[in-house]
Structure 1
Amino acid sequence: MTPSSARPSRVPGTATKTDNNGNLIWAMHNVWLSYRHTMDIRIVRDVLYPILAKAVNFYDHFLHEGGDGKLHLPLTRSPEWADAEDCTYDLSLLRWGCATLLDCLRILRTDHPRARRWREILDRLVAYPRDATGIMIGADKPLTESHRHFSHMLWLYPLHELDWDRPADRDIMRTTFDHWVKDRSLWAGYSYAVASSMASRMERAEEALDLLTFLTDGNLIKNAWITPNTMYVEGGNLATESPLTAAQSILEMAVQSHNGVLRVFPSVSRRWPDLSVHSVRTQGAFLVDADRSAGRTRWIRVHSEAGAPLVLHHGIPGPIDVRDTRGRPLRYRRTGPGRIEIPLARDATALITPRGHRPDPAPRDVPAVGDAKPWGLPD
């Protein structure tokens, strides 16, 4: 880029603000996921940590103490919708950024002169503005019409700051999500896919499938639709974000791995009684194979590439067997209904089955439910 074409920095709290202030931290969340799926510490050391520290420091310049003693943000923009002080989009990314920087220090076994400040921001950052409709766009800025973007809900997905596993989080997650999805008049294709992923995270399997198939069935969504070759048209533009998001929505139904728990078949519709997955990579650098038949999990196989802690929500009712590749019992600890912790070493594999079952743990083709055209293939 030549100096004459360079654009000036956009400053929160001024007329030069844009809806892109938080985008660098959001990009770093994708880098974090790359680390978590590989457990390659070089990603943290060489990319995530140095960039994220600068991105968080940018926000720190604009934080100010309010009369409530909390740290607040000046006017920024919630992408594609409205200007607001204490914008939820920016607050959620800043909160995630500070927490992740402290995780980086632990991973790298180092310290940083600003670590105390990152902890202070986490302790004092103002809570998300909320009203009867749930968490709002920002201070005094509720969501009052259809909004195709989920920028005010990053704390739910994909950041997972609030978690359906915690009963205290469920009401605000449910209320905010229901308010967003009730008016879809201005939605785009990816809105349906992200809403499907959010529904899966809240164990609303039937709704998750309905939202996904509305998109994948080729319905016209304003001026957008998915084409038979899996691409996406929005007006005169061709794009890939909606098909990629739809693919992720399918994975959210089959395998999830957020907040330190690996969940297999966590949100599968009753309309999908059979499902088979093979070599799905998850956080913790695990590779997962699993099979579901007639609505019940037949077996799960987890291979560890890094020896990371494994907490598995298997969802198999009743007693189970946990064995290695030679059929020998593996030690495990039950941590909750349908959930176990397995001390699985690097390059080790665990096979989890209902007690006494010895299935053939191999992937299989699952026939379509009803008439269906394979995506991307000619008639």
Structure 2
Amino acid sequence: MAAKRSIFEEVSEEKPEAQKARPVQTGVIDKARGGARRAIRAWLIVLFAMVVAMIVVGGLTRLTDSGLSITEWAPVTGAVPPLSEEAWNVEFEKYQQIPEFELQNSEMTLSEFKSIYWWEWGHRQLGRVIGLVWAVGFLGFLAARKIPVGWTGRLVLPGVLGGVQGAIGWWMVSSGLGGEMTDVASYRLAVHLGLAFVILGLIGWYVMMLSRPERDLMQARRQKEAKLWGLSTGLLHLVFLQILLGALVAGIDAGRAFPTWPLMAGGVLPPFPFEIEPVWRNFFENAGLVQFMHRTLGYIAFAFAIFVWARSRRSAHRRTRRAFDWMLVMVFGQVVLGIVAVLTQAQWHVAITHQLVAVVVWMLILRGRFLAGYPVASSVREGL
């Protein structure tokens, strides 16, 4: 006759020692979606840092008027800079044939040319290195079959967009090589900078997704705060438009046009805002009107950021609320920096800081949006 069992006894034919030795079995989701999530995340963080550096170097290239120093697009052979005095003279002669030299820098020496050449060469070289790091990483993970299920297409996208960005970069540079242009077309500069922020945001989003297990994301998605998600999405779009306007300001040096605040030359509107014919060109080429649009949208974005922050106070999740706290702090800081940039006529160190803080604001809004869509439940220890 079988021995009596306690109602609390585990029903199993295995001995307790065997049960303890048996490894814990993970869920079906973990098995199906394995891959080297940590390694891929680390690789993407490296790419993220490099894209941030690319944005900063690009801004400095524009501020130093170096963007037109290389007059040819040679994706492969262009990686090698001039290595002899003869080669330097050849490059300088090419530069002497474009309007920027003829109309603006006709007294430039070879030594001065070298200084702007290195900025543009460094900018292009960094782009090549980013492409190489992406290709080596992606092909390596693909060959090792370490890419999680559903992530192959996602990881291809930054590389494709990076290639498109290189082509847009040349499209931008080519606009300043003929006619009477002494700078690149401002709207092409806006497209170039805008795509850089898209690539940065995409990589940042992937890093946030890979920072948590797939099962956690699936569970968190059920608690999505739809209203806050929608508002942060709207703020993201508004700030993106402001970034594009900032590129227009930089493209035509509009930041140096009216160094007064809050008024512009004593008025709300700048003088002669529609003096260029046809009228639509004023929205791209009139320094006063472009700066006015950038200022006005900045005020609107700041007001909307306050509204989104106030809505985030209703979130039940502590980390979500803190994310929007930092977002508002940096948006306010960016507004102050914008005013300082105006009053100092966009001195290069102020202007580049303004651009770098735009990156921080962009990512903080994206982080707040991510946490609205995939909340992290607060523990009792963390508090509400």
Relative CO higher for 1 or 2, CA cutoff 8 Å, sep ≥ 6?
2
Give the TM-score of the pair, scaled to structure 1: 0.27
Give the TM-score of the pair, scaled to structure 2: 0.26
Which structure features the higher share of helix residues? 2
